C-alpha cells in the first residue's frame, strides 16, 4: 500500500507537481481507442458475390463473374453515411467466400476476375477516396476464413493471409479499424488452419499503427456477443483475455456482452448489427428494413451503454444503397437530432458533494460545460458522491446522459437518479456502469431538482458530463401477426392509434381500409400496415408482413422426441414465440432429430422456411439440415434440399430455402443433421413453413 501511495504521489509530482492529482485506475484506453470511443456510430457495408447470389455465406466456388454491380458509386455510400451522422465506413474487403473487392495479387477470386468494369475496378480504391472526400474514416473487414483459397488449411495460409492484409493496409491510406471475423470453418480442401494472430496483428500495426483491431477479444475493441447490436446494461470496457482467442476460444457471449470489471485490458464493445435481417443485400428484405424505433432501441443499447454502434447497410445489386435503407437512416438521424437538441442541464445550477479539493482541474461546473475533456471528481478513497442540478423554473425531461472521463479508467459501479417531487426526493432510475457514455431513458418528469447519486465505484469517480434532454415521443410501428387459421391481426403499443392496412402490396395511406378486427388470409399475401394519429396528420413507419399458405390444416405426424412443454404442434402454430424441441432427457439427446408434418392436401412446394427459437432465448438451433417431401408420408426418397443455415448461430433469423426444382407432395420432413452449438444436442423449431409462391 505504501509503495502504491508512493508511486501515485510520484506520478502526480511528475505530471503537475500537485498532491491531489488523480491517479489513473486499472486498464486504460490508448490514444487510438479514446478517439475510437468518440466515434460512436459508423457504417458497415457487406458487398460481394453473396449480394448477387442471395447468400449469407458464399462457398467460394461462385463464378466471380456474378459480381457485376451495374452502377456502383462509393460516393453515394459515403454521402449517405455522412448525412446519417456516421463517422466512418468499414467494408467487407474479403468475406468468407474469399472474394477480394480489390485486385489482390494473392488471390484469383477478385474483382479482376469479375464482370464489373471488365475486371478493371477496385472497390477499396473508390471507397477510400470517397471516405476522404466526405471526411469519413475508412476501415476494412478481412475474414481469415477463406473458402476459396487453395492454401487455406495448410501451414502456408497464415503467410498468405498476412500478405493479403499487408497489401490492403499499405495501399489505401489510413485505416482506422481492422475487422477480424472469428469464424474458422473449412476451406475448399476441407481443412481448418490454426490462425497466427500474432503475425496478423504485427502486420496490421506495422502498416497502420493507429488502427483499432476488432475481434471477439480485441486487442482494440471486442465483439459485443450478439448480432443484435445490444450491449449489457452493465458494460465494462475492460476484458480478461489471457487464454482466450477469437472464435471458438473466445469468452462466453454473456462475458463479451458485459466485459469484466477490473479486466486486464481496455477492450471496449463494438455493437454490430444489420439494418436488415441479413448482412448481405437481398431483394426479399427490401421491406424488412428496421424501423426508427428499432434503430433507436439499438442506439440506446449500444452508444447509450458504453459501446460503439456499427450499423450494416448492405449495398444492392446496382452497387448503391437502396432507397428504403437511406430514407430510414435519415429519419433515424432526424429523430436523434430532435431528441438531443436542447441540453436542459445547461440551464441548471450544478453542485456536488465530496468534491476533490486542491485540484484546479476538478469542479462541479465542469459537468455541464459541454466539454468531455473537463471533469468533476471525489477525493482518493471516496467512492460515492452526489451531483445536484437545480433549476430556477421546473424543467421536463426523459433522458439523462452521463460520461466518465475514461482517459483515467472506467470506475463507476452503481448510481441512482432522483427528482424532487412534492418536497421529497423520489428515485426514478438506477443503473450500474457509465464508461464513455451512458444514456438512461425514463418517462417524462417535471422537477426543479435532480440528484445523481454515485453509489459505488472502483476508485474515486471522475465524471465529465451530465446532460438532460426531452426526447419527443415516437408513434410505435404496428405489429402484424397471423395465427394458425390464417387470421391476421394488427396491434400497436402507442395509445389510441388508427390502424390502416393494405393487402395489395400498396403503401397504406389514411384512406386505406381501417383495421377493425382480424383479416382472413389463409392462402397468404402481403399485408402492410401503418398507425395514424390526429386524423392522419401523424403516421408511423410502414410495417410489412409477407405470408405463404397458413398451416390451418397441418398436423405433426412424427417427431423423435419432445421436451417438456415443447409440444410439436407449436412448430406449426403460426406463433414464432412458441416452439417444439426434440429432447426429453438432455443427457440422452444426440443429433440427428426430425419432425414430419402432414399438410392436409397436396401442394407444389418451391421451398421451406425455418424459424429458429430466438425471441426469448436461442437454444437448439439447427445448423445442417435435410428436407424431404413425400406423397404418402412413408416413402421419402432423396432430400429435395440439404445444406447449412449460414450464420444462424450468431444471427438466428428466419431462413428461407428454395429448392432447385419444385416438389409435389402432402408430407414434409425436416431432418436436423447437426446443431449450431455442439453443446446443445437437441433441435428446436419455432416455426416451420413452406414456400409455394
Ligand atoms: C459474422 C459473419 O459470419 C457474418 O457473415 C457477418 O459478416 C458478420 C458481421 O460477422 O461473423
Ligand atoms: Ca411456434
Q: Which atom of ligand 1 is nearest to the CA of 182?
A: 11
pLDDT recorded at residue 587: 66
Whose atoms come closest to the Cα of 577: which ligand? 2
Q: What spacing in Å lies between the alpha carbon of 270 and ligand 1's midpoint?
A: 14
Q: What spacing in Å lies between the alpha carbon of 142 and ligand 1's midpoint?
A: 11
pLDDT recorded at residue 12: 44
Residue 181 Cβ < 6 Å to ligand 1: yes
- The pTM is what? 0.93
User: 415 pairs with which residues across the strands?
Assistant: 431, 454
The residue contributing the CA closest to ligand 1 atom 11 is 181
- Asked if the model's pLDDT at residue 7 lies above 60, the reply is no
Whose atoms come closest to the Cα of 648: which ligand? 1
pLDDT recorded at residue 6: 47
Residue 62 Cβ < 6 Å to ligand 1: no
Q: Which atom of ligand 1 is nearest to the CA of 46?
A: 7
pLDDT recorded at residue 93: 98
Q: Comparing 182-191, 578-587, 632-641, which segment has the lowest mean pLDDT?
A: 578-587
Q: What spacing in Å lies between the alpha carbon of 226 and ligand 1's midpoint?
A: 11
- Asked if the model's pLDDT at residue 14 lies above 80, the reply is no
* Mean pLDDT confidence for 142-168: 97
Whose atoms come closest to the Cα of 687: which ligand? 2
Q: Confidence band (pLDDT; 50, 70, 90) for 657?
A: very high
Q: Confidence band (pLDDT; 50, 70, 90) for 643?
A: very high
pLDDT recorded at residue 19: 55
Which residue has better confidence, 186 or 464?
464
* Mean pLDDT confidence for 13-41: 84
Q: Give percent above pLDDT 70 in the chain.
A: 97
- Asked if the model's pLDDT at residue 1 lies above 70, the reply is no
Contacts of 217 (CB under 8 A, 6+ apart): 239, 241, 244, 245, 246, 250, 251, 267
pLDDT tens figures, 420-439: 999 999 999 999 999 999 99
pLDDT recorded at residue 9: 44
pLDDT recorded at residue 496: 87
Cβ atoms within 10 Å of 327's Cβ, excluding its own: 12
Ligand 1 probe mutation, 47, 54, 186, 227, most atoms within 8 A of CB: 227
- Asked if the model's pLDDT at residue 495 lies above 90, the reply is no
Q: Which three cell numbers stand for residue 681?
A: 444436442
pLDDT recorded at residue 17: 44
Calculate the average pLDDT of the chain. 95
CA distances from 589 to 290, 586, 681 (A): 37, 5, 6
Q: Confidence band (pLDDT; 50, 70, 90) for 616?
A: confident
DSSP 445-458: EEEEEEEEEEEEES
pLDDT recorded at residue 451: 98
Name the nearest CA neighbour of 353 among 430, 459, 455, 422. Answer: 455
Q: What spacing in Å lies between the alpha carbon of 184 and ligand 1's midpoint?
A: 11
The residue contributing the CA closest to ligand 1 atom 1 is 181
pLDDT recorded at residue 615: 76
Residue 279 Cβ < 6 Å to ligand 1: yes
The residue contributing the CA closest to ligand 1 atom 3 is 647
Q: Give percent above pLDDT 90 in the chain.
A: 91
The residue contributing the CA closest to ligand 1 atom 4 is 647
* Mean pLDDT confidence for 92-119: 98
CATH numbers and ranges of domains, the chain: 31-339 (3.20.20.80), 344-469 (2.60.120.260), 479-547 (2.60.40.10), 555-691 (2.60.120.260)
Whose atoms come closest to the Cα of 610: which ligand? 2
Q: Which three cell numbers stand for residue 497?
A: 392509434
Q: What spacing in Å lies between the alpha carbon of 569 and ligand 2's midpoint?
A: 8
496-502 own/partner pairs: CB under 8 Å, 24+ apart: 496/533, 497/531, 497/532, 497/533, 497/540, 498/531, 498/532, 498/533, 498/536, 499/529, 499/530, 499/531, 499/532, 500/529, 500/530, 500/532, 501/527, 501/528, 501/529, 501/530, 502/527, 502/528
The residue contributing the CA closest to ligand 1 atom 6 is 279
Q: Confidence band (pLDDT; 50, 70, 90) for 20?
A: confident
Helix 292-302 × helix 323-339 angle, to 10°: 60
The residue contributing the CA closest to ligand 1 atom 8 is 279
Q: Confidence band (pLDDT; 50, 70, 90) for 589?
A: confident
- Asked if the model's pLDDT at residue 540 lies above 60, the reply is yes
Residue 272 Cβ < 6 Å to ligand 1: yes
- Asked if the model's pLDDT at residue 18 lies above 80, the reply is no
pLDDT recorded at residue 534: 92
Residue 650 Cβ < 6 Å to ligand 1: yes
Q: Which three cell numbers stand for residue 86?
A: 456516421
The residue contributing the CA closest to ligand 1 atom 10 is 181
pLDDT tens figures, 333-389: 999 999 999 999 999 999 999 999 989 999 999 999 989 999 999 999 999 999 999
Q: Confidence band (pLDDT; 50, 70, 90) for 583?
A: confident
* Mean pLDDT confidence for 299-317: 98
pLDDT tens figures, 619-629: 899 999 999 99
Q: Comparing 99-103, 559-563, 685-689, which segment has the lowest mean pLDDT?
A: 559-563
pLDDT tens figures, 78-87: 999 999 999 9
Ligand 1 probe mutation, 60, 181, 223, most atoms within 8 A of CB: 181
CA distances from 656 to 3, 172, 570, 646 (A): 63, 38, 19, 11
Q: Which atom of ligand 1 is nearest to the CA of 44?
A: 9
Residue 183 Cβ < 6 Å to ligand 1: yes
Q: What spacing in Å lies between the alpha carbon of 190 and ligand 1's midpoint?
A: 20
* Mean pLDDT confidence for 446-464: 98
Q: Which atom of ligand 1 is nearest to the CA of 279?
A: 6
Amino acid at each position: 500500500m505504501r509503495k502504491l501511495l508512493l508511486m501515485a504521489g510520484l506520478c502526480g509530482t511528475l505530471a503537475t507537481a500537485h498532491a491531489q492529482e488523480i491517479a489513473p485506475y486499472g486498464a486504460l484506453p490508448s490514444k487510438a481507442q479514446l478517439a475510437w470511443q468518440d466515434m460512436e456510430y459508423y457504417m458497415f457495408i457487406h458487398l460481394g458475390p453473396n449480394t448477387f447470389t442471395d447468400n449469407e455465406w458464399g462457398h467460394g466456388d461462385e463464378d466471380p463473374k456474378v459480381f457485376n454491380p451495374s452502377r456502383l458509386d462509393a460516393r453515394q455510400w459515403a454521402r449517405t453515411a455522412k448525412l446519417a451522422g456516421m463517422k466512418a465506413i468499414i467494408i467487407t474487403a474479403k468475406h468468407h467466400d474469399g472474394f477480394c473487392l480489390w485486385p489482390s495479387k494473392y488471390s484469383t477470386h477478385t474483382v479482376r476476375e469479375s464482370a464489373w468494369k471488365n475486371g478493371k475496378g477496385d472497390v477499396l480504391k473508390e471507397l477510400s477516396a470517397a471516405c476522404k472526400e466526405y471526411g469519413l474514416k475508412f476501415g476494412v473487414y478481412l475474414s481469415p476464413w477463406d473458402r476459396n483459397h487453395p492454401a487455406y488449411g495448410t501451414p502456408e495460409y497464415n503467410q498468405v493471409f498476412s500478405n493479403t492484409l499487408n497489401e490492403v493496409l499499405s495501399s489505401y491510406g489510413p485505416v482506422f479499424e481492422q475487422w477480424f471475423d472469428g469464424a474458422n470453418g473449412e476451406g475448399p480442401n476441407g481443412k481448418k488452419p490454426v490462425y497466427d494472430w500474432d503475425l496478423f496483428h504485427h502486420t496490421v500495426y506495422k502498416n497502420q499503427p493507429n488502427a483499432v483491431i476488432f475481434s471477439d477479444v480485441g486487442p482494440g475493441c471486442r465483439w459485443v456477443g450478439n448480432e443484435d447490436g445490444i450491449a449489457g446494461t452493465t458494460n465494462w470496457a475492460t476484458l480478461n483475455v489471457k487464454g482466450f482467442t477469437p472464435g471458438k476460444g473466445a469468452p462466453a457471449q454473456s462475458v463479451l456482452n458485459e466485459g469484466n470489471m477490473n479486466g486486464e485490458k481496455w477492450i471496449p464493445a463494438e455493437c454490430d448489427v444489420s439494418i436488415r435481417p441479413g448482412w448481405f443485400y437481398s431483394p426479399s428484405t427490401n421491406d424488412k428494413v428496421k424501423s426508427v424505433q428499432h434503430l433507436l432501441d439499438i442506439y440506446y443499447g449500444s452508444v447509450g451503454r458504453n459501446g460503439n454502434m456499427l450499423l450494416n447497410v448492405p449495398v444492392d445489386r446496382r452497387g448503391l444503397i437502396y432507397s428504403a435503407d437511406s430514407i430510414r437512416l435519415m429519419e433515424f438521424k432526424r429523430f436523434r437530432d430532435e431528441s438531443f437538441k436542447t441540453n436542459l442541464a445547461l440551464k441548471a445550477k450544478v453542485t456536488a458533494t465530496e468534491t476533490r479539493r486542491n485540484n484546479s482541474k476538478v469542479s462541479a461546473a465542469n459537468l455541464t460545460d459541454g466539454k468531455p475533456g473537463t471533469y468533476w471528481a471525489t477525493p482518493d478513497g471516496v467512492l460515492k458522491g452526489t451531483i445536484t442540478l437545480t433549476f430556477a423554473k421546473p424543467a421536463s425531461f426523459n433522458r439523462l446522459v452521463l460520461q466518465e472521463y475514461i482517459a483515467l479508467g472506467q470506475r463507476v459501479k452503481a448510481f441512482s437518479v432522483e427528482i424532487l417531487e412534492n418536497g421529497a426526493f423520489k428515485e426514478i432510475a438506477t443503473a450500474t456502469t457509465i464508461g464513455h457514455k451512458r444514456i438512461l431513458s425514463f418517462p417524462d418528469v417535471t422537477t426543479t431538482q435532480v440528484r445523481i447519486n454515485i453509489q459505488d465505484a472502483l476508485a474515486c469517480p471522475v465524471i465529465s458530463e451530465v446532460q438532460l434532454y426531452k426526447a419527443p415521443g415516437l408513434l410505435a410501428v404496428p405489429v402484424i401477426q397471423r395465427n394458425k387459421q390464417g387470421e391476421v391481426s394488427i396491434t400497436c403499443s402507442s395509445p389510441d392509434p388508427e390502424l390502416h392496412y393494405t393487402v395489395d402490396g400498396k403503401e397504406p395511406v389514411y384512406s386505406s381500409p381501417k383495421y377493425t378486427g382480424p383479416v382472413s388470409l389463409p392462402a397468404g399475401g402481403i399485408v402492410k400496415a401503418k398507425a395514424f394519429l390526429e386524423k392522419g396528420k401523424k403516421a408511423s413507419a410502414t410495417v410489412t408482413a409477407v405470408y405463404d399458405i397458413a398451416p390451418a390444416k397441418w398436423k405433426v405426424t412424427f417427431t423423435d422426441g419432445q421436451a417438456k412443454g415443447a409440444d410439436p404442434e407449436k412448430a406449426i402454430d403460426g406463433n414464432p414465440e412458441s416452439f417444439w424441441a426434440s429432447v426429453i432427457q438432455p443427457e440422452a439427446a444426440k443429433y440427428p432429430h426430425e419432425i414430419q408434418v402432414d399438410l392436409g392436401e397436396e401442394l407444389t412446394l418451391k421451398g421451406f422456411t425455418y424459424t429458429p427459437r430466438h425471441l426469448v432465448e436461442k437454444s437448439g438451433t439447427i445448423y445442417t439440415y435435410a428436407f424431404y417431401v413425400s406423397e404418402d408420408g412413408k416413402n421419402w426418397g432423396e432430400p429435395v434440399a440439404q445444406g447449412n443455415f449460414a450464420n444462424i448461430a450468431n444471427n438466428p433469423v428466419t431462413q428461407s430455402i428454395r429448392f432447385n426444382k419444385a416438389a409435389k407432395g402432402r408430407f414434409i420432413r425436416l431432418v436436423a443433421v447437426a446443431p449450431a452449438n455442439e453443446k446443445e444436442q437437441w433441435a428446436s423449431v419455432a416455426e416451420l413453413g413452406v414456400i409455394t409462391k
